[in-house]
Homo-oligomer: A and B are copies of this chain.
């Protein structure tokens, strides 16, 4: 793998950890909104059947796409992969590449029982460590939070 530049705050370059990890295990290092999130939710069929290799290859391919910002992924009963893009055009371009790869294998119907894809525009974001999302500092827990009623005990 060729050297990957570390991300500079505010730049579009992707994070080293995401780019070097085919199956993302950390947060995407997204810039300030707006940007685009593609939420891919799926249920798997039994067995691997080449799925992990395909997923690694697709994530690597995504990381090389123009406008790619990062990806977050988790799976237990269902799988959720959220990829982030600079804009709708970048997400759409990836969809066409990804859809073609998927189409090549769709006839086999080996990987997914079902899936959903949702394309969304991120308007706001914040984090536990607000320094990572300075524009939204302090919004994670608003000072005027409503009084609780005990139901979330």
Asked whether A145 lies within 8 Å of B27 as measured between CB atoms, the reply is no
Best-surrounded residue of A25, A133, A145 (most CB of chain B within 10 A): A145
Asked whether A141 lies within 8 Å of B27 as measured between CB atoms, the reply is no
Contact with B along A76-120 (1 / 0, CB 8 A): 111110100000100000011111111110100000101111111
Min distance, Cβ A106 to any Cβ of chain B, angstroms: 6
Asked whether B140 lies within 8 Å of A61 as measured between CB atoms, the reply is no
Q: Within 8 Å CB of A8, what residues of B?
A: none
Q: How far is the CA of A132 from the CA of B98 in the complex (A)?
A: 21
Q: How far is the CA of A43 from the CA of B142 in the complex (A)?
A: 22
Asked whether A128 lies within 8 Å of B114 as measured between CB atoms, the reply is yes
Q: With an 8 A cutoff between CB atoms, is A5 at the interface?
A: no
Asked whether A80 lies within 8 Å of B77 as measured between CB atoms, the reply is no
Q: Within 8 Å CB of A54, what residues of B?
A: 152
Contact with B along A1-38 (1 / 0, CB 8 A): 00000000000000000000000111110100100010
Q: How far is the CA of A49 from the CA of B29 in the complex (A)?
A: 29
Asked whether B99 lies within 8 Å of A140 as measured between CB atoms, the reply is yes
Min distance, Cβ A47 to any Cβ of chain B, angstroms: 18
Asked whether A116 lies within 8 Å of B120 as measured between CB atoms, the reply is no
Q: How far is the CA of A133 from the CA of B117 in the complex (A)?
A: 10
Q: For A142, give its contact among B88, B99, B119 (CB under 8 Å).
A: B99
Listed from nearest, the 7 A-B pairs whose CB atoms lie closest are A101-B152, A120-B120, A25-B77, A100-B145, A74-B74, A118-B125, A120-B122
